[in-house]
Amino acid sequence: MDIGRIAHGGVYIYRGELDFMARTILDSPHMETGGNLLGYWTPNGDAVIMYVLGPGRRSVCRFTSFIQDADYLQLHADRLFEEYHLSHIGVWHSHHGLGLSYPSGGDVQSIQEGMLADGLSRCILAIGICDRAGASVNAFSFVCTGEGVKMNLVPWNVVQGDGSVRSRYDTAYRDSVIMPQVKEAVYHELNMIPVQQMPPENGVKFDTGFWLNNKENRLQLKRIVSYIQSKYSDVKLLKVDDMTIEIRFDIPRRSSWRIVFDKDFPNRAPYVVRYEAGETTSWSLGALGKNGTPHWLSSFSEMGQSVINSLKYLSI
C-alpha cells in the first residue's frame, strides 16, 4: 500500500482546463502569470479541478512574481461557489524568470503559512514554464500532517475534453471572464495519466438534506457575504468539510474573524471566532442581542438578517 499516494490523493482535471493554463502561460512568455483552481475534494482526498481562473485585469505580472487581482478572484469564486458548489482548492502561476518547473522556496513557505493560518488540510499548487518548444505545467499536492505541511509532485489525471462548468459559466459571464489570446495549447512536456472520467460528481454536492442544497438558502448566505464585503476586503467563503461552511475576513490592523455554520445550523445559530493579539475568542450569534428580543430566528427566510443583526451588535 502506497501511504504517500493515499495521503496526497490524485489531482484530476479536464484537458480543456489544463489547456487554459498552458494558453495563458504562452500568452505571457516574459512575465509571470497565474490564477486559481476551483473544484472540490473527494472523500478519498483526490482534488478535482473543474474550473481554472486566469489573471484579472488588475493582476500584477512581473518578471519573477505574480499577484492576482483580488476583486476578480472574489467575484468569480463567489459565483462558482453559489452556482456550482465549487471551492477554491488551489492556485497556479508561471516561473518564466526563475526558470523553475517546481515551487520556489517562497512558494512553499507561502502555501504552508496560508494553510496553517486558514486551517486548511489540503491545497494544490500548479507551476508552469514555457520555452520555444511550448509550455509545461506541474501539479504539487500540499497536505497538512501531524509533522507539518508536506509537499509532493503528483501527475495530472487528465480527462479528455471540456467540463460542463466551463462552457456554461463562460457563456453566462462572457463580459467578465478573461480568456487567453493564444488559441492552441502547445506543450514542451506534460506529467499526466489519461483517465476516462472524473471521480463521481456527487463530490460537488453537499450531503442530502444539507441547507445549502437549497437555492434560497444560498441566496441568504450570499446576502451575509455581501454585507461583510461592503465593509471589508478579501472576504473568503470556504467549505471546510461536508457539513461546515466558514466566512473568513480580517479587520485591518485589528483582528481576524471566522463565521462558522456547522452541521447543526440553522437549528443552532452560527458562531464567530475572533483572533486578536494572539488570543482566540468565540461567541454563538444566538447569544447576542438586546434583552427581551429573539436572539436567533432559525427559519431560513430570516437567517440572513439574523446573522447581519448579530454582526452589527458586535460592531462588525
Asked if 190 and 236 sit in the same domain, the reply is no
Asked if 181 and 222 sit in the same domain, the reply is no
Asked if 142 and 215 sit in the same domain, the reply is no
Whole-angstrom distance, CA of residue 18 vs CA of residue 12: 10
The alpha carbons of the chain give a radius of gyration, in whole angstroms, of 20
Asked if 95 and 62 sit in the same domain, the reply is yes
pLDDT at 11 over 90: yes
Per residue in 80-95, pLDDT (tens digit) is: 988 888 889 999 999 8
Per residue in 244-254, pLDDT (tens digit) is: 888 888 887 78
Asked if 114 and 248 sit in the same domain, the reply is no
DSSP state of 201: G
Residue 184 CB: number of other CB atoms within 10 A? 8
Asked if 159 and 231 sit in the same domain, the reply is no
Of 2-11, 197-206, 210-219, the range with the highest mean pLDDT is 210-219
pLDDT at 193 over 60: yes
Q: What is the CB-side half-sphere exposure of residue 183 using CA atoms within 13 A? A: 0
CA-nearest of 154, 181, 158, 186 to 55 is 181
Whole-angstrom distance, CA of residue 161 vs CA of residue 194: 11
End residue of a domain, out of 175, 204, 233? 204
User: Parallel, antiparallel, or unpaired: how do β-strands 156-159 and 11-14 relate?
Assistant: parallel
Neighbour-count burial of 216, counting CB atoms closer than 10 A to its CB (0-12 exposed, 13-18 middle, 19+ buried): exposed
Asked if 15 and 126 sit in the same domain, the reply is yes
Asked if 289 and 216 sit in the same domain, the reply is yes
End residue of a domain, out of 204, 226, 244? 204
Asked if 70 and 161 sit in the same domain, the reply is yes
DSSP state of 175: T
Average pLDDT value for the chain: 83
End residue of a domain, out of 204, 236, 271? 204
CA-nearest of 207, 179, 187 to 265 is 207
Asked if 229 and 303 sit in the same domain, the reply is yes
Share of the chain above pLDDT 70, in %: 88
Asked if 73 and 143 sit in the same domain, the reply is yes
| Average pLDDT of the segment spanning 96-111 | 83
pLDDT at 156 over 80: yes
- Overall pTM surpassing 0.85 (yes/no): no
Whole-angstrom distance, CA of residue 49 vs CA of residue 47: 6
Domain that holds residue 304: 211-313
Please count the structural domains in the chain: 2
Residue 176 CB: number of other CB atoms within 10 A? 13
Asked if 155 and 16 sit in the same domain, the reply is yes
In this structure, what CATH number is given to the domain that contains residue 188? 3.40.140.10
